[in-house]
Structures are given as C-alpha cells and as structure tokens.
Chain A
Amino acid sequence: MTEIILEVKGPIGLTVEAEAVCPHRLSGLAPGEIEAQLVWQGPAQLPLSDFFEVEVREGEGEVRIAIEGDASRIKRIGQGMRSGCIEIDGSCGMHLGEEMEGGSILVRGNAGSWAGMEMRGGLLEIEGDAGDHVGSAHRGSWRGMSGGEIRIGGSAKSQLGGGMIGGKISVARDVQNFCAIRQSGGLILVHGRAVRGVGAEMTGGVAAVLGGIERFSPGFVETGMEEDPVLGGEKRPGTFIRYCGDYAISKNPKGTLFVRG
C-alpha cells in the first residue's frame, strides 16, 4: 500500500476546496507532483504544498491518504473517490466523500455538512458528529445517496439522507430535523432521538428511530407492531410500531418508519 501523509501546516484562513485529495487522483504521482496538485482557495488555485506537508511512503497496491492536523476548513476531501482509503485524524470541512463510488473514508473527529452527498458506493465513517445534509441530494436534485454505507458515531444535524434512494446510514446518537426527507429507498437507522419531520415526503425505503421522535410527521399512518425486527442486518430488541407514509405527499406511499413502542 502506498501511504500519502498530508499534515495540515497551520491555521487556514479562507476555506480550501481540495478535491485533489483523493486516492485515485494522487495515485502514481511523485512527491513533487503531489505537492504541485492544485486546490482552490476562493478564486485562487494554489499548490497543495501551501497547506500541507507531504510525505509519501511508496508501496504496492491501493493508496491510503492520512490527513493529520485540523482539516476543518478543508472541503471536498475524497470527492468522487473510487478506491483506496482516506483517514482523517481530526475534523474536516464540508462535502467530505461527496459522490464517492468506492473505497473508504474514516474521520476521527467531526465532519462538516454535505458529507457523502449523492454517494454511490464505499464506506464513509465519521466517529464524531456530522453536520447537515449527510448523504443527501444536491440542491435542486431529487435523488441523494444511492449506495454504500455511512456510519456516524456521534449525532447528525438536519436533512440526513435527503432524497436517499439506496444504501445505508446509521447514526449512533441523535438527529435533528427532516431526517429521511424524500427518501425513496435504502435504510436509515437512528439509535438516538429525532426532533421533527422524520420521513417527510418519504415514498419508499425504511427509516427507524430507536430513541423516539419529538414531533411526529402528520402524514404517517400506523400499520402494525413488530417484535424484535431485523433492521440493517441486526435484530433490534423491543416492540416497534410500524408506520407507512408520507401520506402528505402521495396517496399511495411506500415508506416504512419504525419507532420503538
């Protein structure tokens, strides 16, 4: 495995957009070439070395990028990723792993909004908290995440899985508003609580909130109870109420929402 270690040099002023930081884009490049890769800061295109110390440990096979230091003002890391892996020591900025198709990303800290937006495959793991719009659709687009898996160790904010058509998202703690909005496929599993708007405009797929919902979406109708249902490949102990919705958006919706009874 070739290892590329990128150490953030110091505090970053205006945010940086660094879609160049992606295994398949850096694979096969000499250290000098990696340093010369361009990233955006406002309208300026600047070399990667302006923001990172670059160290390369040559090896065989896939590329692993390790980012050290505070990358919370660096956006678009791993955008369109296809293979290999990225490990981020601390936190990172918006659009992490946007439109990724394969490979894996691990963030030990928090991730900004739009992580895994329109993701198609691969694994995106955030050990801390995530911002808004995780795995959601682009503005103006109707379809969000279609494949792969997102795991969040902490909480996520609003519009998680917006427009999701496939894949799986799990959140270990809580979500805020409009989780699973316009979901039409795939699975969203929230282990903690949700505030409001869960499953709004949902027409398919499965969402489950194990810790309870503060304000229920009015367009969901109870369809039965289930004991210890299997959700996301695992048995979830307890009695769950199953709902169908969202009747606010369709006369015949196929969205399923599980809430612990």
Chain B
Amino acid sequence: MMFRNLVCPVCGASCDDIQVEMTAEGIVAKNACKMGNAKFQELASPHRIRQPLICQGGEMLPSGWEEALDRAADILASSSRPLIFIGSETSCEAMEVGLHLGEYLGGVVDSNSTVCHGPTAMGIQEAGRVGATAGQSKNRADLTVYWGSNPLESMPRHMSRYAVYPRGYWTRRGRFDRTVITVDPRRSLTAENSDLHIQLNPNTDFELLSALLALLHGQQPHPSAEEVTGVAIRQMEEMLELMKGCNYGVIYAGLGMASSYGKHRNAEMAFHLVQELNNHTKFVIGALRGHCNVAGFNQVASYLYGYPFGLDFSRGYPRYNPGEFTAVDLLRERDVDAALVVCADLVSHFPADCASYLGEIPMICIDIASCPTTMLSDVVLPGVIDAMECDGTFYRLDDVPIYFQPFTASPFPFTASNQHTLQQLMERVRGRKEAGS
C-alpha cells in the first residue's frame, strides 16, 4: 500500500511530500533524501527499543510498563530540581506536556537549541529579525547566502526544494535566476556549487560581519580586519555589491555562525547586517535548523512561557538566563539532581563533564533506539516515532507549523505517542506529589 504526503521527521526542512510503500521486502520511501530514507527504515530496525527497561544492579532489564512508569515517577517526584530535556525529534504536543511537567515540578526545561541555534534565538532577542517563510524566499530570492552552513550535506533537499533550484513565481528559471554565495572556512560541497565562496578564517564571523557593516556605513574597517578574517576588503566589497544589487536576498545561517566563537554576538551582527541591507533592497535571514522540530520547542516554549529555551521554573514563574539555566551549565555546575531526557542522546553530545554527571544522577530516558544515554539511564521508556506512528505538529525551519499524520500506529499497547507517555508520567508524578503534600 502506498501512503502519500507524509512528513519526514529528520531535519528542519520537514519535507511534506514523502511517499512510503510497505512491501514484503521492506519499506520504500520516495522523495526522501538519504537521511530521510534511513529514518523510515528505523521502523523495522533491530536497534529499536521494544519494551521498557529498568536498571537493576547495574544491568538494564526488561520491565512492565506500569513498573517502569512508577519508577520514573518516583525519581521525578522525589527530586529537588529535575532537568527535563526535550529533544527535537518529537511533536510540539509532547513538548507542551514536558514544559508543563517542568513547571509543575519547579524544575528546568531545555531543548536541543541550547546546543544548536540557541545563540541565534538570543541574537534575535538582541537585535530583532527580518524573516520570511521558505515559500516567500523560493518565489522571490535572486541571491542566496549560505553562512556557516552546508545544506548539501546537512539538509540535502534545502537547495532543491526551497532555496536554489526550484522555479519560483519571480525566479522562473530556477538556479539560473539566482546567485549563490557561501561563507564557510571549508571548501564544502555547497561552497563548490556556489557562485562566490568567501573562505573566512574559522571563528571570525563576527569580525567579517562587523567589517561588512562598517563598509555599509561608509567606513573602511580597521586594517587588521583583512588579516583576522582572511578575506580581502576588495572581496568584502564584491560581496556587498552583490547583496545590495539583488532584488531579494536571503541569508541561511548555520551553526558555523551560531556555534563558532562569538555565538549570539555573531548572530546579532548578522541580523544587524540584514536590517541595514534593507536600506538598499529587500533582504531576509533565517536559520538552517538541524533537527526536524527544533524550531518547535522555541515556538511552544515562547508561546507558553515567554522564553525560547533554558526555562527555570524554581520560583513558580519562568526565568531565562542562558549560561545559568541552560542544560550544559546546570550539569557542569552539578545544579540539578535528576534528569528526564526525551528523544535526545545527551551523553553522546554534551561535554564530558556533563555526560559523566548525568551518569551520577537518576535519569529517565524516552527514546526509540539504544544509545549511550539509554545505557546510563535508570528507566528507559520506549519512544514512538512521530510522523510515522502518531500524528502531531512540527515547526519547519522557517517557523511554519506542519501538521503530520502517521501511516502506521504505535507498536505499543501501553502508549500511543511520546505525548501520551509524558501525560501518563505527569499524572503519576502529580499523584505522588498530591499524596505527599
């Protein structure tokens, strides 16, 4: 049987044109890129966690659902300051429950953007952003700038579906109507396919953006700028001419900007540059969000509690201070005493100090496949794959919500989705807290 118009739950592009056929030989996914296709194959993967696990005497043993939920609720209800970390490969609906659970427990709730485009979100708060949807840019942009991003390898369909190759209303000849600039220290695949590659020195985005802004303001940058950035003033001017001369330009900012030294200050400068370019032409900027619903957490948390990530609820109201209430900082400072990790492999991706502290405190993990985080957990609850086994909402990289429907159902009788798992956990935690008070 063929299922159409499915949403791919892998990267921020949230492609919603996937076709899946379940055959006797396996799953055939059409339109999906290599990364997307691999995810659709997960459905039948031998690595899939198929039952709850509980750590007993240092060993992960299979357990019943009720028993695992009870143990998880005990951990959360008895902790003084839990960290609830919600990864991005799950629905906004699940994130909402996780945020409420954090508020109820007076804990801290954070998400993947804390180690990815969090600095971009902070840059937006500092400077404001001129943005657009992917559709607007597809139809209008005659200049595309990939800054610190390499979509050909990290978001394979971005260029073909949204940004460079598609024919738009005012860009009828597709790629022929567009100029592409890539700003990247590496000669990446994307850089090779661009019209201009600005090969700056690593970690000099801030200086390059400042120099471009100074030029726009009619001043020659400080003479050291050339040596620091590795980009000649002449080349900066060439880039600015292209930017000022286009009809509609768009910068897609990647982690090369948000997570190289300078972080939110780089992003802030990029937003200022785009604002300034709007004195000459129409220019917008957006982030190339890596994971499928990483934008969703920022949206849901901002909508519910006013801040995009790193929310501390210890005072009963949300507080926000990256560097103090963000997951990496809390774990490094040993400032939480339990963790609930939903759909994220923190142990593999966080700094070593943080990962080893996660091994010291009780941890609950909801995930679909075993990983270092599930191995260090006290309780593992099997995850349900969003967009394949349950419905829900993702936010695409341009902050457009995409509702997705499944083509099969949750393989578990005890839970229909990660949202459902979190709701059941919330009820149990509430029961314990109310009984104790």
A-B pairs, top 3 by smallest CB distance, nearest first, are: A43-B106, A42-B81, A218-B221
The answer to whether B218 touches A251, judged by C-beta atoms less than 8 angstroms apart, is yes
Residue A15 CB within 8 A of the other chain: yes
Interface residues of B in 219-241 (CB under 8 A from A): 219-222, 224-225, 228
Q: Which residue of A lies closest to B324 (CB)?
A: A94
Within 8 A of B (CB), among A187-238: 196-197, 200-201, 215-221
Q: Which residues in window 37-88 of B have CB below 8 A to A?
A: 80-81
Our pick among A43, A181, A215, A249 for the contact of B207 (Cβ within 8 Å) is A215
- Could you list 13 A-B pairs, sorted by A, with CB under 8 Å? A40-B315, A42-B80, A42-B314, A42-B337, A43-B314, A114-B321, A114-B324, A140-B320, A196-B262, A215-B224, A217-B210, A221-B222, A248-B217
Interface residues of B in 311-334 (CB under 8 A from A): 313-316, 320-324, 333-334
Tell me the smallest distance from the CB of B277 to a CB of chain A, in Å: 13
Instruction: Kindly list chain A residues whose C-beta atoms are within 8 Å of the C-beta of B106.
Output: 42-43
- Decide yes or no whether B395 CB sits under 8 A from chain A: no
B8 to chain A, nearest CB (A): 34
Interface size range on B against A: 35 or more
- Taking the nearest CB of chain A, how far is it from the CB of B200, in angstroms? 12
Q: A219-B214, A247-B214 are in contact. Are A197 and B262 (CB under 8 A)?
A: yes
Cβ of B261 within 8 Å of any chain A Cβ, yes or no, is: yes
A101 to B320, CA, bound (A): 24
| A139-B320, A218-B210, A219-B217 known, 18 other contacts, Cβ within 8 Å | A42-B81, A43-B81, A43-B106, A114-B321, A133-B323, A140-B126, A200-B206, A200-B210, A215-B228, A218-B221, A218-B224, A219-B213, A219-B219, A221-B222, A248-B272, A249-B213, A250-B217, A251-B218
A41 interface contact, C-beta 8 A: yes
Task: Say whether B324 contacts A113, CB under 8 Å.
Answer: yes
User: Chain B nearest CB: distance from A214 CB in Å?
Assistant: 9
Task: Kindly name the residue among B107, B218, B333 whose own CB sees the greatest number of chain A CB atoms within 10 A.
Answer: B333
**Residues of chain A in range 175-193 having any CB-CB distance to chain B below 8 Å:** 177-178, 181
Please give, as numbers and ranges, the residues of chain B lying within 8 Å of A217 by CB-CB distance. 207, 210, 222
Provide the residues of chain B in CB contact with A133, threshold 8 Å: 323
B221: which A residues are within 8 A, CB to CB? 218-219
Q: How many residues of A contact B (CB 8 A)?
A: 35
* CB atoms of B217 and A251 under 8 A apart: yes
Chain A residues closer than 8 Å to B322, beta-carbon distance = 139
B343 to chain A, nearest CB (A): 25
CA A215 to CA B207, docked complex, whole Å: 9
Contact of B337 with A13 in the complex, beta carbons under 8 Å: yes
Residues of chain A within 8 A (CB-CB) of B225 are 216, 218
- Residue of B whose beta carbon sits closest to that of A244: B219
Q: Contacts A113-B323, A177-B261, A178-B265 hold; do A44 and B80 have CB atoms under 8 A apart?
A: yes
For B261, list chain A residues within 8 Å (CB): 177
- A149 touches B (CB below 8 Å): no
Does the CB pair A249–B272 fall under 8 Å? yes
Kindly identify which residue among B107, B210, B335, B336 contacts A246, using a CB–CB cutoff of 8 Å: B210
Distance A201 CA – B272 CA, assembled complex (angstroms): 10
| Chain B hits for A42, CB < 8 A | 80-81, 106-107, 314, 337
Which residues of the other chain, B, contact A140 by a CB distance below 8 angstroms?
125-126, 320
When chains A and B are docked, how far (Å) is the Cα of A133 from the Cα of B264? 14
- Report the nearest A residue to B261, measured CB to CB: A177
Among B210, B217, B322, chain A packs the most CB atoms within 10 A around the CB of: B210
| Shortest Cβ distance from residue A212 to the other chain B in the assembled complex, whole angstroms | 12
Chain A residue at smallest Cβ distance from B212: A248
**Residue from A44, A114, A248, A251 having most chain B Cβ neighbours under 10 A:** A248
Do B206 and A139 touch across chains, with their CB atoms under 8 A apart?
A: no
Min CB–CB distance B318 → chain A (angstroms): 12
Alpha-carbon separation in the docked complex, A201 to B217 (Å): 13
Contact A218 B265 (CB under 8 A): no
Q: Please, what's the 1-or-0 string for A13-50, where 1 marks a CB less than 8 Å from any CB in chain B?
A: 11100000000000000000000000011111000000
User: Is B258 on the interface with A (CB-CB < 8 A)?
Assistant: no
Determine the chain B residues whose CB is within 8 A of the CB of A246 once the complex forms.
210
